[in-house]
Structure 1
Amino acid sequence: MELWFTEKQTEDFGITMKIKETYVSEKTDFQDLAMVKTEEFGNMLLLDGMVMTTEKDEFVYHEMVAHPVLYTHPNPEQVLVVGGGDGGVIREVLKHPQVKKAVLVDIDGKVIEYSKKYLPSIAGGLEDPRVEVLVNDGFMHIHDHKNTYDVIMVDSTEPVGPAANLFTRGFYQGIYEALKEDGIFVAQTDNPWFKADLIQSVNKDVKEVFPIVRVYTANIPTYPSGLWTFTMGSKKYDPLEVDESAIPEIDTKYYTPRLHKAAFVLPKFVEDLIK
């Protein structure tokens, strides 16, 4: 008997993969969580029936959340990751020696617990002495920490359930206030094929708060449509003005110094969304 999982990405479209084993399937205090082993993508974390990360393609997302913003800021010493309990973004943040402290705030401790057990190649950095892990509400953490961080990264699920507040203008205003005077933030902002309205809404809200706003993309096979967007809001530094020759070569599989600015070159239909 074969077991297949389908993420219904719209009412009429989904992505399907063959499952070898189910490690965990439970309802936490916040969401339905499953950890499974797939034939094609290795171990995979699912939240509310949506693919969050897999062993095979996780590096794209985690590198592209972390490195463009950290190489845009000249001295990112204090970093906050909201969500991201799997630890992948933290792993990439730790590749930057300037970072003195990285704080991870995830509302669901079960995500952290099971990621450490079943996704050790992703979650290994959570034990690093530079990292503080808090099981808490990221929205409230930002509200309570004014003028604290150089860089804030929002590694959230889609805007449903506990992540709904992380896609609001009030949240972006809170991020602005939690950043230092030259701070930058970045958030995953879903895909332009099925969530065009969301990208437009986020772009409009962030532009009302931050003077510099840039959108960039990456290809992530297990995310809806494969084409994924990220939105960066900055008080001072423009990622398009970074000297690529000054970006060091680090241990990555997707991000490179040459890709830094190239990622901000958008297909025309995505450009049109955010005009």
Structure 2
Amino acid sequence: MTDMTGWSVERLHADYAQALKEDRVLYDSKTDHQRLRVIENGTFGRVLTLDGVVQVTERDNFIYHEMLTHVPLFAHGAARRVLIIGGGDGGMAREALRHPLDQVTMVEIDSGVVDFSKEYLPSISAGAFDDPRLDLQIADGAEFIKATAGGYDVIIVDSTDPVGPGEVLFTDHFYGHAKRALAPDGILVTQNGVPFMQGSELAGTIRAFRSLFADASCYLAGVPTYAGGPMAFGWGSDGDARQVTLPVLQARVAASGLEFGYYTPEVHLAAFALPGYVQALLRD
């Protein structure tokens, strides 16, 4: 295909691209930090891109948001306070607030992402911005994590790729500050891209995690619009929550009364079973 008129082409990688047909362009504007676009696509519904890179879609966002939220929360089993860095579309807050938490603090650098997500992608947040337990802070996540008093049971880094505003969220300094902000046996989870295409991103995070945490690893989930293989999520903790057993997870999920489109206790445990090429990245 040579004529890409009417297609949104993502060129995140130097020698690989993916494209989504634009049935309609709903929003196209540049903020102080990045270019925001919302398009409609016949398969994925409304799609948000930042600087041309797909961030979230109506149809498949449940996979990403469920796995980055419910894996640490059900593994922990007693979380009361959660910190989300990024996540301006509100999807991560939506899933976290399904749990009986006391507070979810969400730190988003770009108020424009929040504002137009409420208007153009309301199904992603599904009312999360109106929940009184949500403390929304428009601030630089790296600066916030340095200044916070901490005490968070789970920290979720829902960042963009490590370019532009999101780059600082992949540094050793940021991870060190995040560990300090955790309560004892707290859990830090991070978005780490598609390791088949972005292996150095995951390897760098795990290298940093191993210098900080007693337990450092990652887990995987397949998200259709994050192309190139399964997506990786970094895991760091000084506790043993990753060793939670299937019966315990099943009991916690049953007691919650929650239902999911992707997450299950079985998927939770299986997500930590890593293919050989990912294990090699962690070794290297």
State the secondary structure of the residue aligned to 2:28.
strand
Q: Secondary structure at the match of 1:153?
A: strand
Aligned to 2:227: 224
2: CA distance, partners of 1:247 / 1:62:
19
CA contact (8 A) 2:102 2:133 kept: yes
Contact kept? 2:74, 2:253, Cα under 8 Å = no
3-state secondary structure, aligned to 2:212: coil
Equivalent residues in 2 for 1:40-189, closer than 5 Å: 40-97=43-100, 99-123=101-125, 124-189=127-192
Q: Which digits, 9 at most, give the CA deviation of each residue in 1:207-265, with x for residues without a partner?
A: 11111112100000101314100011012133133433323142210000111111100
Tell me the matched-pair count: 274
Of the structure 1 ranges 235-244 and 64-73, higher mean CA displacement relative to structure 2 is found in: 235-244
Q: How many percent of aligned residue pairs carry the same amino acid?
A: 39
> What stretches of structure 2 of length at least 5 have no aligned partner?
none
What's the secondary structure of 2:239's corresponding residue? coil
Q: Match of 1:238?
A: 241
Deviation, 1:51, is 0.2
Query: Which residue of 2 is the match for residue 248 of structure 1?
Result: 253
Does 1:268 find its partner at 2:276? yes
- Retained in 2: the 8 A contact 1:82–1:106? yes
Matched residues in 1 for 2:227 and 2:27: separation? 23
Contact 2:109 2:141 in 1 (8 A): yes
Q: Conserved in 2, the CA contact under 8 Å of 1:68 and 1:239?
A: no
* Partners of 1:29 and 1:8 in 2: CA distance: 22
How many Å apart are 1:44 and its aligned residue? 0.7
TM-score, length-scaled by structure 1: 0.96
In structure 1, what residue type is equivalent to 2:27?
V
Tell me, in whole angstroms, the C-alpha distance in 2 between the residues paired with 1:253 and 1:169.
34
Match of 1:6 among 5, 9, 14: 9
- The range that moved more, 141-150 or 171-180, is 141-150
Q: Which moved more, 1:55-64 or 1:226-235?
A: 226-235
Deviations 1:184-216 (A, max 9, x none): 110011111111111111110111111111210
- Using the size of structure 2 for normalisation, the TM-score is 0.93
Aligned letter for 1:58? N
Alpha-carbon distance in 2 for matches of 1:136, 1:190: 23
Q: CA deviation at 1:9?
A: 3.2
